[in-house]
Structure 1
Amino acid sequence: MILSLLLSTFITIFIAELGDKTQLATLTMSGTSNKPLAVFLGSSSALVLASLVGALAGGSISNFLPEIILKSIASITFFIIGIRLFVNSFTSKENDNNQ
């Protein structure tokens, strides 16, 4: 059971992180610093710490809120972010065309 959870979490986070801002920032920093190991260690540590905060917060919050509420909040939040990104993609194109 724990191996299944570990594997599904790894795959989900790995796929979600591919091509995101963090990976692009890491790529840029590594290319400009000529110290890829230092950039790897720094970005890995930051991701591990951010994941720890998320896991601890999620574990604590789940003591007070039912799972369905947590999933609903996460779904609504991602939906709002997606809509904002979608709308902003058209707004920025209109602004680029007007200049």
Structure 2
Amino acid sequence: MDLPLLLSTFATVFLAELGDKTQLATVAISGTSNRPLAVFLGSSSALVLASLIGAIAGGSLSGVVPADWLQLMASLGFLAIGLKLLWPLLSGAESTATADD
């Protein structure tokens, strides 16, 4: 097993999942239930299955599309998401507060 790849994948997914809507949904479900183990098993199973689908899809795509192109497409996708999130700031959009307040 490739330990550096395992660790970097774990760190990346762990940091990406902190505070995302899946974690917030898990907190909400756990807060309304008295069965935290069942909530943990359900949410972790869902994350494992989603990750498996992603790994299989990535492995399948790598047979058709060169790895450099996959990395470029992923990078452009993240760049587009980042720009969309920053667009209000970058476009100089005015805040909703007025000087009369």
Q: Does residue 60 of structure 2 align to residue 27 of structure 1? A: no
Paired AA for residue 22 in structure 1? T
Q: Does residue 71 of structure 2 align to residue 71 of structure 1? A: yes
- Separation of aligned partners in 2, 1:46 and 1:85: 27
Paired AA for residue 29 in structure 2? M
Measured on the aligned residues, the alpha-carbon RMSD in Å equals: 2.2
Structure 2: stretches of 5+ with no match in the other structure: none
Shift of 1:75: 0.8
Which is further off, 18-27 or 76-85?
A: 76-85
Deviation sequence 1:28-55 (CA, Å, 0-9, x none): 1101122211111111011000000000
Q: How does 1:79-90 map to 2 (within 5 A)?
A: 79-87=79-87
- Separation of aligned partners in 2, 1:44 and 1:36: 12
Normalising to structure 2: TM-score of the pair?
0.81
Question: Which position in structure 2 is the counterpart of 1:40?
Answer: 40
Aligned length: 95
- Separation of aligned partners in 1, 2:28 and 2:58: 31
- Separation of aligned partners in 1, 2:38 and 2:85: 32
More helix by share: 1
